[in-house]
């Protein structure tokens, strides 16, 4: 339990440092002052876009958005092929047991889970005759709609609160073959909504309509949201960022989640032949 507690302490510090979580309804943990941030190597995708436009700050600008949907705008790219490999891995496991709903998560924000969710949805939807839905389950700091250029009039929170229907909220991803259930408003009780019977009912309903449902979740350490979402899913994919997420934190994440549901890990930002790719070890 000590490893889990230490990882949760760092998660709260990291969450405060990265974005200032004043809007979060979660009670803060009692933590000491934040440790100095780790030095990260740039990923291949950052390098590719920086050569053309100049390196943007993380999380900002058109290059960051393009990176999140590279399998949509460059379906023949090497990165898209890595997500096809991940899709093939999931399909192989699905031959042994039903896998319709897949949660994509990470220990901390900024590790690439939204990028993985969008691109995995894009390549999965390329399969002939397969209907795919991407659900943004981050009711605190959603990014899917911005990544895909969507302007939702209603979203997941409105559906869970009975203010809109699923059909009202689902949008078509422009230039891609999958649908999106985005987030529009950020409620004051995200954890309760995500763990509610209404959330289970939504997942059950879309599972009947779609061949695969990808759920882009919040970061797992320091927040209870992912644990609630994962209980309603068939599988979990974990995104780990090279030179950022420690082995101790991955172990803490594995203790929180149901190991039987874990389908695999994506190593993002590995400095392995950066001239060719950034998403290594899919």
Q: Mean pLDDT over residues 43-63, rounded?
A: 38
Q: 114-173: per-residue pLDDT in tens? A: 989 999 999 999 887 889 999 999 999 999 999 888 999 999 999 999 999 999 999 998
Please provide the DSSP assignment of the chain as one string.
-HHHHHHHHHHHHHHHHHH--TT--SPPP---SPPPPPP-PPPHHHHHHHHHH-PPPTT-HHHHHHHHTHHHH-TTSHHHHHHHHHHHHHHHHHTTS---EEEEEESSTTSSHHHHHHHHHHHHHTSTT--EEEEE--SSS--HHHHTT---SS-HHHHHTTSS-HHHH-EEPTTSS-EEE---S--S-HHHHHTSHHHHHHHHHHHHH-SEEEEEPPPSTT-SHHHHHHTT-SEEEEEEETTTS-HHHHHHHHHHS-GGGEEEEEEES--S-TTT-SEE--
Residue 91 has pLDDT above 80, yes or no: yes
List, in order of start, the domains of the chain with CATH numbers: 2-27+38-280 (3.40.50.300)
Q: Mean pLDDT over residues 57-64, rounded?
A: 48
- Amino acid 34: pLDDT: 45
The band of 70, judged by pLDDT with boundaries at 50, 70 and 90, is low
Q: Mean pLDDT over residues 196-214, rounded?
A: 95
């Amino acid at each position: 339990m000590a490893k889990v507690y230490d990882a949760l302490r760092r998660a709260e510090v990291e969450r405060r440092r990265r974005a200032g979580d004043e809007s979060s309804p979660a009670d803060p943990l009692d933590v000491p002052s934040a440790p100095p941030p780790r030095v990260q190597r740039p990923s291949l995708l950052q390098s590719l876009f920086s050569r053309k436009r100049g390196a943007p700050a993380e999380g900002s600008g058109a290059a960051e958005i393009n990176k999140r949907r590279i399998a949509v705008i460059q379906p023949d790219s090497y990165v898209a092929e890595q997500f096809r490999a991940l899709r093939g891995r999931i399909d192989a496991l699905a031959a042994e047991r039903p896998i319709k709903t897949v949660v994509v998560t990470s220990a901390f924000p900024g590790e690439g889970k939204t990028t993985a969710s969008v691109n995995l949805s894009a390549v999965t939807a390329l399969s002939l005759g397969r209907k795919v839905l991407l659900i943004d389950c981050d009711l605190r700091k959603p990014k899917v709609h911005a990544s895909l250029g969507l302007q939702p009039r209603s979203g997941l929170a409105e559906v869970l609160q009975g203010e809109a229907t699923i059909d009202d909220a689902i949008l078509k991803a422009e230039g891609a073959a999958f649908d999106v259930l985005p987030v529009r408003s950020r409620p004051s009780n995200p954890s309760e909504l995500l763990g509610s019977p209404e959330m289970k009912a939504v997942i059950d309903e879309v599972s009947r309509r779609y061949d695969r449902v990808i759920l882009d979740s919040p970061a797992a350490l320091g927040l209870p949201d992912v644990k609630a979402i994962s209980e309603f899913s068939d599988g979990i994919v974990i995104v780990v960022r090279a030179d950022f997420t420690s082995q101790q934190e991955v172990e803490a994440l594995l203790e929180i989640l149901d190991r039987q549901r874990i389908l695999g890990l994506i190593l993002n930002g590995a400095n392995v032949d950066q001239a060719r790719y950034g998403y290594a070890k899919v």
